[in-house]
Amino acid sequence: MTRRIATCALIPHAGHLTPLFAVARHLAARGDEVRAFLPDEGARVAERFGVEFETFGAVLAPDYARLIDRAARASRWAFQAYWGVWLAMEYIVPV
C-alpha cells in the first residue's frame, strides 16, 4: 500500500533539513509518495537529496541566504560557532 506522506520544515538549516530528507528518501525508496513543504531557502538542499518539494516563500532576509551559504562551506567548528552567534542575535536577544 502506497502512503502519501507530507513533511514540513520551517527552518532552512541543514541541521533540520538533512535528517528530514534522509527519512523522506528512505520512505520514497519503500514506495511511499513523499513531498516536502519548506521555505525557498531549503530548495537547493531538497534538490540535492532528490526529494519532491514545494516552497512557501522565503523566511529569511535576502542577505541571510548568502550567510547560510558561507556558513555551509565553513569547517564544522566555525559553522557551529557562527550559527550559535547568529541564532542568539536574531532570535534570542530580540525577545
Residue of 44 and 74 predicted with greater confidence: 44
Helix axes 76-87, 62-72, angle to 10 degrees: 150
pLDDT tens column, 63-93: 776 776 776 676 777 766 766 676 666 665 5
pTM for the whole structure? 0.58
CB atoms within 10 A of CB 31: 9
Average pLDDT over residues 12-22: 81
Average pLDDT over residues 19-46: 88
**pLDDT over 50 at 95, yes or no:** no
